Structure 1
Amino acid sequence: MPRKPEILNCQEVARSRLFRVESVDLRFSNGEERVYERLAARGSAAVLIVPMLDDKTVLLIREYGVGVEDYELGLPKGRVEAGEDPLEAANRELMEEVGYGAKSLTKLKLLSQSPNYMQHHTQVVLAQGLYPQTAEGDEPEPLIVEQYPLADLDQLVLRDDFTEARSLAALFLARAHLSR
């Protein structure tokens, strides 16, 4: 395993309401120096929930993604608030976005996104034993909840309205976990 580069300097170079951009000066073990930019983490990780209505059916949501300028099918997700446990955050987001709570929540894997450019991490959580329960969320419009057979995952990944990599990875992780 190579030795990690030495961080020579790190400073914020831009900020918006949602993002902080940092410039990071690095020196690698061979003496090479480079300047990288990254989206800096803002506190806690996020959660992405795989809600299983029963042993075979996952609940997906359809919501508008401004990044792709279209409605996308994916899994419920959200930010872990300061001082909140990731499993509590997952259950809260599930209630807000899908209208269910979960009796059983299992951490499957902590995922990174674009690790060369982002510090952000997402905890994938499997939610089982669902029961009807709602909570007020921050979505600008009601989300559409759709049931999908987990056995048809191979067809889901081919759909044009299902493109989010985190949701794709989470469903494969959940399918592997559930098949054990």
Structure 2
Amino acid sequence: MSKTLPTIHEVTEHEAALYRMERLDLEFSNGERRLYERLHGRGHGAVIVVPMLDTETVLLVREYAAGFHRYELGLVKGRIDAGESALEAANRELKEEIGYGARSVEALRSISLAPQYMSHQATLVIARDLYPERLAGDEPEELDVVPWKLDALHELILLDEFSEGRSIAALFIVRDWLRHHGG
């Protein structure tokens, strides 16, 4: 069922450090009016990379997560720089974060983060046929690289240190994609 989108009567903007905050004055098809707020990220987008060491093993990174003030296990992630494609950014981030490049990078889909109030999306990329190559990155310390078998995903998702929703979703998507597209 397709619904009529609300009418936007007014948009006001407020600047924040990493985001631009918008307040929308909306009127829904039933006549109800509400104020909604949404965040727009700055920059050219982001990538979430699933680096496959082999057909069964993904490489995860453990890095400091300021939001929880702890170390968190997750996937390679990063911003897309100006003039860079998502696939180029994915390969650069791999080299910076885990010390590998990939001969094969493929964008699978876009993943959103809290679409009810954020415009942020990241391109999910699978990286295969890895080779050693390191680039200097912006991380303040070298990241731990943790190999994990996809058939043990059920154990990974129960670890307290593996909590980021995009990483969890990305691994399930890639695991099923590999099953249907000949890992």
Q: TM-score range by the shorter chain?
A: over 0.9
Provide the residue aligned with 1:41 in structure 2: 41
What does 1:87-166 correspond to in 2, within 5 Å? 87-166=87-166
SS of structure 1 residue aligned to 2:137: coil
Deviation at 1:6, TM superposition (A): 1.8
What is the CA-CA distance between 1:19 and the residue it aligns to? 2.2
Number of equivalenced pairs: 179
Partner of residue 31, structure 1: 31
CA RMSD of aligned residues (A): 1.0
| 1:3 counterpart = 2:4 | yes
TM-superposition CA deviations, 1:56-106 (whole Å, max 9, x none): 110000001001111000001001112211111111111110100001111
Spell out structure 1 runs of 4+ moving beyond 3 A. none
Q: For structure 1, which segment, 56-65 or 6-15, has the greater mean C-alpha deviation from structure 2 after superposition?
A: 6-15
| Bigger mean CA offset, 18-27 vs 168-177 | 18-27
Question: Residue in 1 aligned with 2:13?
Answer: 12
**Aligned-residue identity in percent:** 53
Question: Structure 2: any 5+ residue segments left out of the alignment?
Answer: none
* Distance (whole Å) between structure 2 residues aligned to residue 44 and residue 107 of structure 1: 16
Cα distance between partner residues in 2 of 1:78 and 1:47: 6
Q: State how far apart, in whole Å, the 1-side matches of 2:154 and 2:14 are.
A: 42
**Which deviates more from structure 2 when the two are superposed, residues 83-92 or residues 38-47?**
38-47
Within 1, Cα distance between the matches of 2:66 and 2:101? 27
2-structure distance, mates of 1:31, 1:157: 43
SS in 2 for 1:83: coil
Q: What letter matches 2:99 in structure 1?
A: G
Superposition TM-score, scaled by structure 2 size: 0.94
Map 1:44-63 → 2, pairs under 5 A: 44-63=44-63
Secondary structure, in 3 states, of the residue corresponding to 1:179?
Answer: helix
- Counterpart CA distance in 1 for 2:44 and 2:7 is 24
- CA–CA distance in 2 between the matches of 1:89 and 1:166? 17
Larger mean CA deviation between 34-43 and 83-92 belongs to 34-43
Q: TM-score, normalised by structure 1?
A: 0.96
Deviation string, structure 1 residues 125-165 (Cα, Å, up to 9, x no partner): 00000000111111111111111111100000001110000
Moved more, 69-78 or 104-113: 104-113
Separation in 1 of the partners of 2:79 and 2:71? 20
Helix, strand or coil at the partner of 2:123 = strand
Secondary structure class of the residue paired with 1:40: strand
